[in-house]
A and B are shown apart, each in its own frame.
Chain A
């Protein structure tokens, strides 16, 4: 079997939680709110998802519970920064650290517990036949359905943002909340909805890690993927398609390093671990130098609170 195809397939599986979280943060940031709490939301959702999967045995319910937990955490953040106009950076960092502590505390009883492994993605002879197809078999049909979900969501978010009126309004709120307000749009409500949606998607990502990818719960399971997702939105210059590709790229970096190691090529893993952030800094530097890029995609009011009237 072709090792490169398997490597790509593994990179897609590894990048899928990043796609989900990245899309969530993209929606979040397009409304002009920066939520640095992604790591915390994902952790809380991961433990909620794991507990649900352990209790019910259903992956769908577990992902749903993760989404709900992420949404609740994001709603708390939304109340602070949108309702009370608290500083977005401080509140986001606080959410991150709080989520880490809370998930560790709640999760004590779930450490070392075992889930039944994820079911085969496609059962039956047709599924088997699809899985055996060259290239697309391992890349797509032998993956967990959550990979398909991430692909569908990418298309959906792209369509929503750029092809619908709701997307236009969301972007308007992120670009110039004052103008949107003057036109009569409820800026705070829209931002709150965007924050909660973003939290829910981060939650699905967190639950995906603990239920599908690992699958287990330990303290700090997310291990920095929330921060990578935050870096990812910038790296992708706030475009859904680029979030998808960037996530696979970032997800593939560690795998590539393992792959090279097993081949006998030694590269320090620490060096590769910092690559996503390095790439993000490069992109930031580039888009800061080129105003046209910024105007094209970066929400102009990102991180600024909005005071009505």
Chain B
């Protein structure tokens, strides 16, 4: 090895290690103990606080999904005070890293761990087997264990309500939907949006564009622009950024906020925001552990339990429409109204739910079609 190339190698190694350090810095999650340890020591009689941990797929500042979960965590802190000590790890990739993080959290003495993204299901299931004393809670999944249970929101209810507003507000009769991935959860939302719109305006058609990501503002805004170019004038999305709303604002069209109140991002375009308020569920879950009444199972809450809601309905929406939305919402609260009530026909003309029948959980879990009124086909595994 010549002198020069050895020097180059040393330089390269130097720059690479600097790089690794920077990467570590950027990757480090934040931990935020709620109750200072000193306080706990000062009162020895008081029992140690219950340690609860959350893991998020995005940064807590995403103004969407992870942010909403973190508000729920803060609600727990506010409710239980020093009886509970909470912490969180943000930006945990779904997959092998998640397993490591969940295992770490369990080893650190957390008694209950909330995993807030679909892809944490398998890793959490694995760790749950090794820590029988720890309670595991997984959002939006379908697998459980004796010490792992599932919780979920009913965002399709919000999508339906948004659809009712969209059906009344559209001038072109074409709605747009920016979809993330063709999974049952998202298909339910597209269908509910379309059903809601057609309940007040039977001629409405919905066009769908898939972006295959939960969060990529540039792609989301390209997709929204495409829909607008093709005549859609009221947009809804199942992605997490504010891009669709902002694109609608730029084009003088309408759109909705998703996951959190996004009215500030498109004051003229914003018709309403679908929000999730995880606080009540998290408080119940912690309460279950504190009281020793925690049991495995599956909890799906919705408008009835104030877990999700459609809020900030804009002034441009006529009062009559607002009243209708309020009426449907009341129906959701007292269980007299179900979004997926038969007859439901898919867009190929096949009956999916017979007349006078309300969809059960199993039916909703398996939605793999577009209802009549949605254009195109559900992408299959290609």
Contact = CB atoms under 8 A, between A and B. Distances in A.
Interface of A: 3, 6-7, 10, 14, 80, 84-87, 90-91, 94, 97-98, 101-102, 104-105, 108-109, 111-112, 114, 117-118, 209, 213-216, 218-219, 221, 223, 254-255, 258-259, 261-266, 268-270
A240 to B, nearest CB: 25
Interface stretch (B188-196, B220-228, B273-281): B220-228
9 contacts: A7-B226, A86-B15, A108-B61, A111-B62, A117-B246, A218-B62, A223-B219, A264-B207, A264-B375
A207 to B, nearest CB: 14
A80 B15 contact: yes
A262 B227 contact: yes
Contacts of A7: 226, 229
A259 B211 CA distance: 12
B382 A268 contact: yes
Contacts of B4: 85
A108 B265 CA distance: 19
Contacts of B241: 216, 218
Contact of B22 (A101, A255, A265, A268): A101
A66 to B, nearest CB: 15
A111 B61 CA distance: 6
A255 B226 contact: yes
Contact of B8 (A86, A255, A259): A86
Contacts of B264: 114
Contacts of A268: 379, 382
B381 to A, nearest CB: 9
B68 to A, nearest CB: 12
8 residue pairs, one from A and one from B, having the closest CB atoms: A264-B376, A112-B63, A101-B26, A258-B226, A6-B229, A111-B61, A262-B207, A214-B217
Interface residues of B, number: 52
A219 B59 contact: yes
B375 A94 contact: no
A261 B223 CA distance: 10
A259 B229 CA distance: 9
Given A111-B59, A255-B222, A266 B230 contact: no
Interface in B345-382: 375-377, 379, 382
B11 interface: yes
Given A109-B61, A262-B226, 15 more contacts: A80-B15, A86-B15, A91-B12, A111-B59, A111-B62, A117-B249, A216-B241, A218-B217, A219-B59, A221-B218, A223-B218, A254-B219, A258-B211, A262-B230, A269-B212
A3 B227 CA distance: 11
B59 A262 contact: no
Interface string B24-36: 0111000000000
B11 A80 contact: yes
Most buried by B among A85, A111, A214: A214
Contacts of A85: 4, 8
Interface in B55-69: 59, 61-63, 67
Contact of A86 (B12, B212, B218, B242): B12
B218 A213 contact: yes
Given A216-B246, A262-B209, A84 B218 contact: no
Nearest to B218: A214
Given A102-B22, A114-B264, A221-B218, A90 B12 contact: yes
B133 interface: no
Contact of A10 (B209, B225, B242, B375): B225
Most buried by B among A97, A262, A268: A262
Contacts of A221: 217-218
Contacts of B155: none
B78 interface: no
Contacts of B230: 3, 259, 262-263
A259 B376 CA distance: 12
B210 interface: yes
Contacts of A97: 19, 23
A214 B221 contact: yes
A223 B243 CA distance: 15
B25 A101 contact: yes
Contacts of B211: 258, 269
Given A108-B61, A117-B249, A261 B26 contact: no
A123 B207 CA distance: 32
B12 A10 contact: no
Interface in B210-258: 210-212, 215-219, 221-223, 225-227, 229-230, 232, 241-243, 246, 249-250
B11 A84 contact: yes
Contacts of A262: 176, 207-209, 226-227, 230, 232, 375-376
Given A7-B229, A90-B12, A112 B61 contact: yes
Nearest to B249: A117
Most buried by A among B12, B208, B232: B12
B25 A105 contact: yes
B330 interface: no
A258 B209 contact: yes
B317 interface: no
A98 B22 contact: yes
Interface string B172-186: 000010000000000
A301 B232 CA distance: 52
Interface in B115-148: none
B16 interface: yes
Contacts of B376: 261-266
Contacts of A87: 8, 12
Contacts of A101: 19, 22-23, 25-27
A94 B223 contact: no
A43 to B, nearest CB: 12
A86 B11 contact: yes
B216 A223 contact: yes
Given A98-B19, A101-B26, A261 B210 contact: yes
Nearest to A305: B8
B379 A10 contact: no
A219 B15 CA distance: 23
A2 B232 CA distance: 14
